[in-house]
């Protein structure tokens, strides 16, 4: 049976600004997203029966519609019924390395890999844009996870403008395994506390989104300057998450004290990352953070920025 193995990288937010409300209930956002080489491995194989079957090495993750990867496969059966009838179901095996509920888009990356894998399994010949459009039907981060690299994301996060991709900038990540922050809670709380600052008219929203394209963070990325990038890190959601979750605040402060160029929470958290000058420094920071916070519940990773999203590794 034909099968494909794909690598599904995580992402971090280098920039996250909430600029307004949307009529669909989501927030109008301006973000700069960056792929990192911490990744899950997704194996897809043509199924022997007309069904979707999903397995995962994390027993706490659902293997039905509660999993974005399952819903991605389900979407493909609906959108391409002729191919589904011809090729049959799909078996999906997820080997997770990205921490779950971490603000790193692990579930979205898995879903993106399933879209890419089924496109290959069923010989659909979809373009990158078509795969991104399919992903946007499932979640805001999925379109970015398909192609990855470095991009400005606007709208609710699904409208992408690629930037010169960054690679080989070393990052340290920290996440308490048992700690989760609800994305819905974070955005709802931000609206409650800071909704009066939102831009209200379409022209102002468009102008603010456009301003980021020529802003200081984009210039730092174009210059490929880790120090400058670290100085421009910004995440509005820290304003509600850090006061509510002292562990996240402590971790952020510990990263700063360990000598990183800059540190911030990714997305709605609770993962904190620090930008480093080199792999050697990243390893040193990891050691210092571990010595300061010897909690076994704290997971620490050294990773680096990469220029791509989902990638094929093995096929037959």
Q: What's the pLDDT at 314?
A: 59
Q: What's the pLDDT at 261?
A: 98
Q: Give exposure, 44-77, as e/b (b: 16+ Cβ within 10 Å).
A: bbbbeeeebbbebeeeebebeeebbbbbbbebbb
Closest C-alpha to 301, from 95, 39, 8: 39
Known binding-site residues equal 99-109
Give the Cβ contact number of residue 287 at 10 Å: 13
Q: What's the pLDDT at 229?
A: 96
Secondary-structure percent of the chain, ordered helix, strand, coil, rounded to 5:
40, 30, 35
Q: What's the pLDDT at 181?
A: 92
Give the Cβ contact number of residue 150 at 10 Å: 22
- As to burial, measured by CB atoms within 10 angstroms (0-12 exposed, 13-18 middle, 19+ buried), residue 127 is exposed
pLDDT along the chain (316 residues), means of 10: 92 95 85 97 88 92 94 97 92 96 94 98 96 95 96 90 92 96 93 92 86 88 94 97 97 97 96 97 97 97 97 74
Q: What's the pLDDT at 158?
A: 86
Known binding-site residues for ATP equal 99-109
Q: Active-site residue numbers?
A: 11, 141
Residue 138 to residues 103, 258, 273, Cα–Cα distance (Å): 17, 38, 27
Residue ranges of domains in the chain, CATH in brackets: 3-164 (3.30.230.10), 169-305 (3.30.70.890)
């Amino acid at each position: 049976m034909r099968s494909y193995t794909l690598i599904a990288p995580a992402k971090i937010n280098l920039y996250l600004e909430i600029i307004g409300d949307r009529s669909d209930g989501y927030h109008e956002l301006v973000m700069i997203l960056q792929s990192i080489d911490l990744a899950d491995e997704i194996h897809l194989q043509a199924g022997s029966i007309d069904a979707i079957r999903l397995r995962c090495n994390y027993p706490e993750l659902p293997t039905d519609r509660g999993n974005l990867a399952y819903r991605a496969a389900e979407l493909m059966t609906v959108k391409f019924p002729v191919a589904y009838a011809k090729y049959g179901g799909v078996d999906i095996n997820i080997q997770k390395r990205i921490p779950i509920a971490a603000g790193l888009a692990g579930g979205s990356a898995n879903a993106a890999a399933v879209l890419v894998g089924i496109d290959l399994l069923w010989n659909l010949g979809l373009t990158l844009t078509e795969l991104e459009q399919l992903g946007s039907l499932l979640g805001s981060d999925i379109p970015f996870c398909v192609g990855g690299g470095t991009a400005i994301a606007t709208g609710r996060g699904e409208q992408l403008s690629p930037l010169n991709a960054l690679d080989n900038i070393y990052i340290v990540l920290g996440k308490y395994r048992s700690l989760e922050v609800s994305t819905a809670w974070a955005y709802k709380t931000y609206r409650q506390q800071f909704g009066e600052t939102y831009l209200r008219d379409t022209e102002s929203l468009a102008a603010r989104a456009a301003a980021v394209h020529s802003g200081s963070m984009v210039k730092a990325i174009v210059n490929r300057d880790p120090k400058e990038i670290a100085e421009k890190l910004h995440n509005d959601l820290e304003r509600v998450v850090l006061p509510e979750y002292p562990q996240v605040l402590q971790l952020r402060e510990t990263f700063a004290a360990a000598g990183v160029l800059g540190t911030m929470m990714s997305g709605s958290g609770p993962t904190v990352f620090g930008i480093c000058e080199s792999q050697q420094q990243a390893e040193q920071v990891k050691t210092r953070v571990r010595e300061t916070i010897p909690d076994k519940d704290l997971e620490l990773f050294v990773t680096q920025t990469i220029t791509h999203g989902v990638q094929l590794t093995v096929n037959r």
